[in-house]
Structure 1
Amino acid sequence: MLITKQTCIFLAGHKGMVGSAVHRALRAGGYENIVAISSSELDLRNQSQVQSFFNEYSPEVVIDAAARVGGILANRDYPYQFLMDNMMIQNNLIDASLKSGVEKFIFLGSSCIYPKHAPQPLKEEYLLSGSLEETNEWYALAKIAGVKACEAIRKQYGKEYVSLMPTNLYGPHDNFDLQTSHVLPAMIRKFHEAKVKGEFGEIKVSEPVELWGSGNPLREFLHVDDLASAVVFALENTLPESLYNVGTGKDLSIKDLALMVQRLTAHQGPIHFDPTKPDGTPRKLLDVSRLSNAGWKAEIELEEGIRRTYEWYVENIGRVKEVKL
C-alpha cells in the first residue's frame, strides 16, 4: 500500500501513553490526516458504534493503541475486564477494518503473550509454545487473539495487517497509580514521594521504599517514543512477517532498576523488597533481530529515558494519569 502524508490514519487510543506518543510521532513525520476520537465519543467495545464510525470516516490505515492495561495487581484483581474489554476493543477494530477495506492495520500488544518459561531471549516463533505467566494471562490471552486475527487476515486476504509486541514500556503520560501501574512508573512515584516526605523531617533522610518481590527477576524496558518510531517504521514500510518484537534487546534486574531510579530521583533512604509478594516471570527479554533486520532499532538508553520520564512526572504532579479499576 502506498502511504502518503495525506493518507487517512485512524489512531485508536490516542490519549493513552502509547497512543499519545504515536500521535506525536505521526505529527512530527508530517502526517496531516490523522483521525483521533475520545472514548466518550466512541466506545470501542461497542461493535455497532465502531462500524458506524468506519462507515463515516473511511480510514485507509488503522493503528490500534487502545487497550485496558495495568500491572500485576490490576491483572490479578480484574481478570474478566482485562480479558473481555481488550477482546472487544481489538475484535471490533480488526473486523470493522476488514469489512471497510482497510489495507494496513498495525496492532499493538505486549511481550506477555509469550510463555512464562520460554527460552530467552523470546523469539516470535515461541508464541503458544507453553503456559502463560499467571499474573497477566488474561491480558495476554486477549492480545494473542488479536495477533492471530491479524495473521489470519493476512493469510486469507493478503492485507498488510501486522502486530508489534513491545517489551515493558515507560515514558510520559504513563499510569502512576500504585494499585494499577507497571513496575517502573510505580518505582518513580514511590522513590519521589519517599524523598519528598523525608525533606520535611528534621534529619532530612528519605523514607524507606517498599517494593514487591525479591528484586531478582530480569526485565527489559523500552521508552514509549521508541515504540512510536517503530509504529511509524511499520507504517512506512512493507513488513514480510505478521508479528514483530519491539524492544532494546537488553535487560537488567528489578533490584538494579530500583537502584537506578533511586539515583535518578536523588532518594537516599533504604530499599526493602518483600519476597512474599509475586515476582512474575523470572526473565523476559525479547529477541529483536527480526525487526532489527528489517531496519529498525531502539535509540533511547534506559538511564536517559528514566531521567526524561522523572522530569516529566515532577513537572506534571497533580495531573498525572492514575487508572482506577
Structure 2
Amino acid sequence: MRKQDKIYVAGHRGMVGSAIVRNLRNSGYQNIVTRTSSELDLRNQTAVADFFADEQPNYVFLAAAKVGGIWANNVYRAEFLYDNLLIEANIIHSAYKNKVEKLLFLGSSCIYPKMAPQPLKEDYLLSGYLEATNEPYAIAKIAGIKLCEAYRSQYGCNFISAMPTNLYGPNDNYDLQGSHVLPALIRKFHEAKSNGSAFVEIWGSGSPRREFLHADDLADACVFLMETYNEKLFVNIGTGEDVTIRELAELIKETVGFEGELRWNTDKPDGTPRKLMDVSRLHNLGWQHRTDLKKGISITYQDFLRNQEVYV
C-alpha cells in the first residue's frame, strides 16, 4: 500500500475495525474512508454498490460483521447467518466490480470443526462437524473465505483472508447477553466488586481452553498481511498460546481486585473444548504478537474504567 492510497475500513467503529484505523493512521495512512451503519447499510446491495462506485477505494479491510458470544450466536441464528452473508457478499462483489487492488476479509477461529486436532492448522477447514452453538456464524465466515478464493480464481482478484483467534481490547462489547467471555468477565467482576457481591457466577465448567489476542496486535497483523501477503490460502492470526477459562477468570479477578468466590454453572454450555490456532505460517512470514495476556487484560480494564458510560 502507498501512503496516499484510499483505504476503506468496513466496520470501523467495532473493536477490530477501530484498531485497524488506529494502526493505519499511526503508520502514516491518512486517506481512510469509513461509514457508520446508519450512513451505509452493508446488507443493502444497491447502497454498497453505489458507495464503491462513488468512493473507488484502492484497498478494503472487511472487518464489519454481526458478532456475539455463545448465547447470542445460539439464539439469533438466522440473523448471524443472513446478515453476515449479505455484508461479505456485497462488499466482496463491489470490490471486484470497482477494481479494488486488494481486499482483506476477516473471519473467525470458529470456522474450524469442533473436534479438530490441536493446534488448528489452516488446512483443517471443512474436515469435520462445526460447534453447534455457533454453526450459522461459522458457515457465514467460511462462505466469506470461499468467496475470496472464488473471485481470485475466476477474476484474478487479490482478495485474501485472515482468521483471528478470540479477541479483546478497546471498543469491545460488554453486554452480558451478547459479549464474548473475556469482556463479559471483566464486567461481571467489576460490578461484583462495586456492589460488594460475595461471588461471581460463570457459565460452564471452566475447563475449555481458549487463546486470546489483543485487538491492536490483530490490527498490526492485518496491516502486515495487506502490505506483504498475496496468496490464496487464508492465514491464522493468534498467539499460539492458550489458557483455561478458569485460569482466565482468576487472572481477571486479580486484575479487577475482586475478592469473592467463583461459582461455576455447569448447566450452561462450555462450547468447543479447545481452540488453539497454529500460527506457524504467520510466524514464518515474519509477524508475532507483542501483548501478553496479563498486560493486555490490565490495559483493557483501564480502558473499560475510562469508558464505562459508553460500554455499559
TM-score (norm 2): 0.98
What residue number does 1:202 align with? none
What residue number does 1:24 align with? 22
What residue number does 1:253 align with? 244
Matched, 1:116 2:107: no
Select which of 270, 278, 291 maps to 1:279.
270
Mapped partners of 2:299, 2:66: distance in 1: 25
1:242: how far off? 2.9
Matched, 1:157 2:148: no
- Please say if residues 197 and 207 of structure 1, whose CA atoms lie closer than 8 Å, have aligned partners that are also in contact: no
- Please say if residues 214 and 279 of structure 1, whose CA atoms lie closer than 8 Å, have aligned partners that are also in contact: yes
Mapped partners of 2:231, 2:40: distance in 1: 32
What residue number does 1:303 align with? 294
Matched, 1:207 2:198: yes
Matches within 5 A, 1:67-86: 67-86=65-84
Q: Which amino acid aligns with 1:7?
A: D
What residue number does 1:104 align with? 102
What residue number does 2:62 align with? 64
What CA deviation, in whole Å up to 9, does each residue of 1:183-214 have, x standing for no partner?
A: 0000000001001111xxxxxxx430000000
What residue number does 1:191 align with? 189
Specify the SS of the correspondent of 1:50.
Answer: helix
Q: Which amino acid aligns with 2:224?
A: F
Specify the SS of the correspondent of 1:268.
Answer: coil
Matched, 1:230 2:221: yes
1:153: how far off? 1.6
Mapped partners of 1:102, 1:70: distance in 2: 29
- Please say if residues 165 and 211 of structure 2, whose CA atoms lie closer than 8 Å, have aligned partners that are also in contact: yes
Specify the SS of the correspondent of 2:163.
Answer: strand
Mapped partners of 2:251, 2:213: distance in 1: 15
CA-based RMSD of the aligned residues comes to 0.9
What residue number does 1:93 align with? 91
1:319: how far off? 1.2
Matched, 1:218 2:216: no
1:157: how far off? 2.5
What residue number does 1:266 align with? 257
TM-score (norm 1): 0.95
Q: Answer with 39-48 or 234-243: which moved more.
A: 234-243
Mapped partners of 1:53, 1:159: distance in 2: 19
Select which of 164, 169, 172 maps to 1:171.
169
Mapped partners of 1:268, 1:145: distance in 2: 45
What CA deviation, in whole Å up to 9, does each residue of 1:247-268 have, x standing for no partner?
A: 0000010000000000000000
Mapped partners of 2:232, 2:95: distance in 1: 19
What residue number does 1:35 align with? 33
Q: Answer with 136-145 or 153-162: which moved more.
A: 153-162
- Please say if residues 239 and 294 of structure 1, whose CA atoms lie closer than 8 Å, have aligned partners that are also in contact: no
Specify the SS of the correspondent of 1:271.
Answer: strand
Q: Which amino acid aligns with 1:271?
A: L
1:302: how far off? 0.3
Matched, 1:244 2:235: yes
- Please say if residues 115 and 131 of structure 1, whose CA atoms lie closer than 8 Å, have aligned partners that are also in contact: yes
Q: Which amino acid aligns with 1:268?
A: E
Mapped partners of 2:229, 2:185: distance in 1: 38
1:155: how far off? 2.1
Mapped partners of 1:171, 1:272: distance in 2: 25
- Please say if residues 160 and 231 of structure 2, whose CA atoms lie closer than 8 Å, have aligned partners that are also in contact: no
Specify the SS of the correspondent of 2:202.
Answer: strand
Matched, 1:52 2:50: yes
Q: Mind listing any 5+ residue stretches in structure 2 that lack a counterpart?
A: none
- Please say if residues 154 and 242 of structure 1, whose CA atoms lie closer than 8 Å, have aligned partners that are also in contact: no
What residue number does 1:137 align with? 135
- Please say if residues 109 and 163 of structure 1, whose CA atoms lie closer than 8 Å, have aligned partners that are also in contact: yes
Mapped partners of 1:213, 1:179: distance in 2: 15
Mapped partners of 1:179, 1:46: distance in 2: 27
Mapped partners of 2:155, 2:224: distance in 1: 23
Q: Answer with 149-158 or 23-32: which moved more.
A: 149-158
Mapped partners of 1:242, 1:130: distance in 2: 19
Mapped partners of 1:287, 1:154: distance in 2: 24
Q: Which amino acid aligns with 2:64?
A: A
- Please say if residues 161 and 242 of structure 1, whose CA atoms lie closer than 8 Å, have aligned partners that are also in contact: no
Percent identity between the aligned chains? Answer: 57
